[in-house]
Amino acid sequence: MGLELHYKDGQTPLDEEQKKGIKIKSITTQEELDEFEQLNIEKAVEWTIHTRLKPEKILTEKFIKDLHKRMYGDVWKWAGEYRKTDKNIGVKWTQIQIELKNLMDDTKYWIDNKTYPPEEIAIRFKHRIVAIHCFVNGNGRHSRMMADIIIESVFGKETFSWHQSNMVKADEKRKEYIKALKETDKRNIKPLMKFAEN
């Protein structure tokens, strides 16, 4: 029996080749997958709490990939590797590194020049990196953790409150989150800022 996955609004479907990248062969349902991923993510959160993350290391390609690997490496063989196919969302896979470099350069500029308040810089980064869609899967959760790391390690402020829901379940919280993301796509960042802080 293969891996039976059910996708919610805003999730990227995995192709058969990507599904073969699962490390825990006993997983057959979406619920089991969500559970194992969540356990792996909790380990990554634990690591961020106990590691002094230097601001200059955070906005690097290495850190972005390493964080994804820490979040999903127990579950997926392709964790921490950029996707090599185009998806229903995100930039063309061949453009990932270019777009990511632009994002990191822009973010460093925003920080150095105080272009936006700290919370807005973290949220703008989160929105852009999820729009690039670097990885096969887990981009939303990865982008939220990156925003938390930026706000805490770069600016010394409290993390956002969205971690109280992992937003894997198709509930009201997730609907609100997807709606806020779509508003940000239209250049209205306020709902996503509000969502992150509530």
Assess if residue 40 is contained within a domain: yes
Helices (H), 61-95: 61-72
Burial of 70 (0-12, 13-18, 19+ CB in 10 A): buried
Assess if residue 58 is contained within a domain: yes
Residue 160 and residue 194: Cα distance in Å, rounded? 10
Assess if residue 66 is contained within a domain: yes
Assess if residue 1 is contained within a domain: no
Domain extent for 67: 16-197
Assess if residue 122 is contained within a domain: yes
For residue 168, the model assigns a pLDDT of 58
Assess if residue 32 is contained within a domain: yes
Neighbours of 25 (CB within 10 A): 7
Q: What is the tally of structural domains in the chain?
A: 1
Residue 190 and residue 24: Cα distance in Å, rounded? 40
CATH of the domain at 146: 1.10.3290.10
Query: pLDDT per position in the chain (198 positions), as tens?
Result: 567 777 666 666 788 888 889 999 899 888 899 899 999 999 999 999 888 898 889 999 999 999 999 999 999 999 999 999 998 889 999 999 999 999 999 999 999 999 999 999 999 999 999 999 999 999 999 999 999 999 999 999 999 988 565 555 657 888 888 899 999 999 999 999 999 986
